[in-house]
């Protein structure tokens, strides 16, 4: 299930330097990787919509997830680590809470 607490737990369970996704990639961003970890067969995450499989209808992402994706896609690197992603996620959590 795509919720902020589940994503935070997943990122926290990984080494800080482990690559958890590619920036600007709808099938390899950290949220798509989390959905894959959460047993979604081939997830797609684009801007503010997502699907657990490419054949599924796109659903709106929660506001926190849209903000998270915008931050991830704005960094210069092509890859994002668990530590970086967790830092960004926690910044959003403090703004959303």
pLDDT tens for each residue of 20-64:
999 998 888 899 889 888 776 666 777 677 776 666 677 788 899
Predicted TM-score of the model (pTM): 0.83
Beta bridge partners of 81: 19
* Contact predicate 40/52, CB 8 Å: yes
**Average pLDDT of the segment spanning 65-85:** 94
Three-class secondary structure of residue 86 per DSSP: helix
Burial of 93: CB neighbours in 10 Å, binned 0-12, 13-18, 19+ = middle
* Contact predicate 35/25, CB 8 Å: no
* 96 pLDDT tier (thresholds 50, 70, 90): very low
Ranges assigned E (strand) in the chain = 19-22, 44-46, 49-51, 59-60, 79-81
- pLDDT, position 1: 64
């Amino acid at each position: 299930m795509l919720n902020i607490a589940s994503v935070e737990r997943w990122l926290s369970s990984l080494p800080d330097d482990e690559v958890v996704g590619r920036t600007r990639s709808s099938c390899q961003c950290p949220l798509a990787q989390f959905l894959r970890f959460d047993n979604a067969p081939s997830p797609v995450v684009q801007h503010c919509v997502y699907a657990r499989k490419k054949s599924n209808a796109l659903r709106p992402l929660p506001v926190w997830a849209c903000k998270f994706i915008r931050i991830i896609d704005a960094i210069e690197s092509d890859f994002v680590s668990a530590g970086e992603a967790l830092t960004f996620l926690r910044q959003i959590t403090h703004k959303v809470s």
